[in-house]
Structure 1
Amino acid sequence: MAPSALQVEQPVTPQTKQIATRSKDDVVTELTPLQAISQGVCLPGIPLFSSYDKHRAWILSHMAGAFRVFARNNLTEGMSGHISVRDPEHPHTFWTNPLGKHFGLLKASDMVLVDYSGAVVGGNQSRPANAAGFLIHSAIHKARPDVNAACHCHGIAGKAWSAFAKPLEMINQDVCYLYGEAQAVYEDFGGVVFTEEEGVRLAAALGPKGKGMVLRNHGLLTVGGTVDEAAFLYVLMERSCDVQLRADAAAANGIPKVLVDDEAAAYTFKMASDAESLYWEFQPDLEYEYEMSNGAFKHPDCDEVVWPGY
């Protein structure tokens, strides 16, 4: 049985941008990007839930699935890396992964609930959370009430690109999801984050509109309204670093790069970076992990991880 969700047909969330298209009858209609990309029946919007418990079970299942996607994309590095997701009922607390457990083994039941003071207030209490991760994520959740999820890992391409302390260039369609103020760079590096002050500086560098950030000599960080959005953007940003490094290597041998112009980049960002579209961009990978694990990572109160019927 699927989670009891109160689904509004083709909802328009506050973050959703609208575009105009012309119908057969020459009547202009307003469509969301998700409606525009759906030929025929439209994919449903981000689900709404009838209770905090059902919402929480859904969140934790998707969070565990995101870690497994990260593992499949080789984003593990010892005990480094973390995802945080704001609790739907208690917004000054967030869920995160336990220290020292492989991403590919994580389940919904493994997650740890911490408050802004760093106290463990729920979930799995058999292992600690990552202290450096807490300082990073708590600062972001405090500074950005619109952010419900944040991801940080030490991926190979992200670490390599972070050595330049530069934003990714708009060299293809996919990286345009991070166009303009959606991308930031944290230009400092003081070692492992063990001070509250550095967490605050990091959150300030992300800014009020940032979705992805290059952390100098460190790696990448992404945020979103859902863990699905943040996780999809993380994998996209990691791959974009790989593409950028390859393109720069070719350019160093005299092959000129052609960048996406600002108008096209802005249009692509408008058409692809809304909350609903980015939520759905993650669902194919999530569904794959669900099938490969036979649903092993889901919360017991979440009977359907992917949206029923899809």
Structure 2
Amino acid sequence: MAPSALHQNHILTDSNEKQECETTDKTALQAISKGVCLPGIPIFNDFEKQRHWMLEHMALAFQVFARKGFTEGMSGHISVRDPENPHTFWTNPLGKFFGLLQPSDMILVDYSGSPIGGNTSLPANAAGFQIHSAVHKARPDVIAACHTHSKAGKAWSTFSRRLEMLNQDVTHFYGDAQAVYSEFGGVVFDEAEAQRLATALGQKGKGMILRNHGLFTVGKTVDEAAYLFMLMEKSCEVQLLVEAAAANGITKVYVDDEVAEYTHRMTSDSETLYCEFQPDLQWELECSVGNRERRLRGKVDT
């Protein structure tokens, strides 16, 4: 990505102007902001600008995942529904490291699996296409979806169990927001299995544990889906730690249902979850684009 392709100021302020949070009926984002509100999801009046923005964030999400160690050979994929042609979606090429992906690397595919735009010099992931196309077809509200073979996600998936409400953060997956796909038939080349997977996610699911496989998350932006993936991965790690302690006789204390529902309702809307990803995105920019620009200006050692 060229250093000028995405400006940090854009990430922080490219939305409606910051607004005072003094309204009586506050949104979740207003409620969590003291004083002025964080800017939410940008609104575009031009498909090309929106597409450019989405692909930039998609590439940065992959780079964040690489930094967090979510890579496993050629496995893993993110999809983003095209804003102009919603029956198509962008995905990453097969066999390119997450940390090297740029917006120009992404491939546009239709629901038949045909590459129709973007970088068609490399193949897309066939199994990834089956999973993502089934979910995008079944859930028109899903703009982006993430799946990788992350360590804790793979470990917890062997139990084919939901994450328990052990702390405030995991309440993002309270109730229908969390699903478990309890079948495993190997690499998903079968369209019927992909459809079963989409059915298991349900109409309200945001995160799903795939038995003996890993994690899958969705959102109205790639930022939301990526944040939920990171959160679900960390929640699996916490769950495994708690299970080890509980095996030694320490009693678990759960978040009460009423409190879990309230916390979920107040923190899990798409605007707030979009904002939750921005700190990691800002850091990724600083580590990649920012350092490269400073080196070019001679302000840091090469």
TM-score normalized by structure 2? 0.90
Q: Secondary structure at the match of 1:176?
A: helix
Q: Does 1:288 align with 2:283?
A: yes
Q: Find the counterpart in structure 1 of residue 296 from structure 2.
A: none
Which residue identity is paired with 2:270?
A
Task: Give the CA RMSD over aligned residues.
Answer: 1.9
Q: Deviations over 1:7-31 (max 9, x none)?
A: 44579xxxxxxxxx9x7xxxx8100
Of the three residues 75, 80, 96, the one matched with 1:85 is: 80
CA distance, structure 2, for counterparts of residue 254 and residue 224 of structure 1: 38
Residue correspondence of structure 1 range 74-153 to structure 2 within 5 A: 74-153=69-148
| Letter matched to residue 279 of structure 1 | Y
- CA apart distance, 1:195: 0.8
2:252 corresponds to 1:257: yes
Match of 1:117, SS state, is: coil
For structure 1, list consecutive stretches of 5 or more residues without a partner in the other structure: 12-20, 298-310
State the 1:215 CA deviation.
Answer: 0.2
CA contact (8 A) 2:127 2:187 kept: yes
Q: Which amino acid aligns with 1:283?
A: Q
Instruction: Give the distance between the partners of 2:53 and 2:36, measured in 1 at CA.
Output: 24
Change (3 A) 1:7 1:156: closer
1:16 maps to what in 2?
none
For the structure 1 residues 6 and 240, does the alpha-carbon distance in structure 2 shift closer, same or farther, using more than 3 Å as the test?
closer
Confirm whether residue 209 of structure 1 aligns to residue 204 of structure 2. Answer: yes
Tell me how far apart the structure 1 counterparts of residues 18 and 261 of structure 2 sit (CA, whole Å).
24
**Cα distance, 1:218–1:296 mapped onto 2, change above 3 Å:** farther
Residues of 2 paired with 1:182 and 1:152: CA distance? 16
Match of 1:18 in 2: none
DSSP 3-state at the match of 1:129: coil
- Structure 2: gaps of 5 or more residues: 293-302
Post-superposition Cα deviations, 1:45-95, rounded to whole Å, max 9, x if no partner, equal 210112000000000000000001111111000000000000000000000
**What SS does the aligned partner of 1:223 have?**
strand
Match of 2:28 among 5, 29, 33: 33
Aligned to 2:238: 243
Superposition deviation, residue 243 in structure 1: 0.2
CA distance in 1: counterparts of 2:14 and 2:113, whole angstroms: 33
How far apart are 1:125 and its partner, in Å? 1.1
Choose between structure 1 and 2: higher helix proportion. 2
Q: Is the 8 A contact 1:71 1:103 kept in 2?
A: yes
Q: What residue number does 1:306 align with?
A: none
The percentage of aligned residue pairs carrying the same residue is 68
Q: Distance in 2 between matches of 1:45 and 1:267?
A: 21
Partner of 1:300: none
Distance 1:295 1:137, change over 3 A: farther
2:75 match: secondary structure: coil
Are the counterparts in 1 of residues 18 and 36 from structure 2 also a CA contact under 8 Å? no
Q: 1-side partners of 2:16 and 2:184: how far apart?
A: 45
The runs of at least 4 consecutive aligned structure 1 residues that moved more than 3 Å come to 5-11
Once the two structures are TM-superposed, the CA of residue 174 in structure 1 deviates from its matched residue by: 0.4
Q: Tell me which residue corresponds to 1:301.
A: none
How far is the alpha carbon of 1:134 from its aligned partner? Answer: 0.1
1:41 CA displacement: 1.0
1:226 pairs with 2:221: yes
Instruction: Give distance in 1, aligned partners of 2:40 and 2:18.
Output: 6
TM-score, normalised by the number of residues in structure 1: 0.88
What is the identity, as a one-letter code, of the residue corresponding to 2:260? Answer: A
Deviations 1:184-236 (A, max 9, x none): 00000000000110110000000000000000000000000000000000000
Q: 1:285 to 1:250 in 2, by over 3 A?
A: same
After superposition, residues 36-55 of structure 1 pair within 5 angstroms as 36-55=31-50
Once residues 291 and 120 of structure 2 are traced to their aligned partners in structure 1, the CA distance between those partners, rounded to angstroms, is 20
Q: Which residue of 1 aligns with 2:68?
A: 73
Question: Larger relative CO (CA 8 A, sep 6+): 1 or 2?
Answer: 1
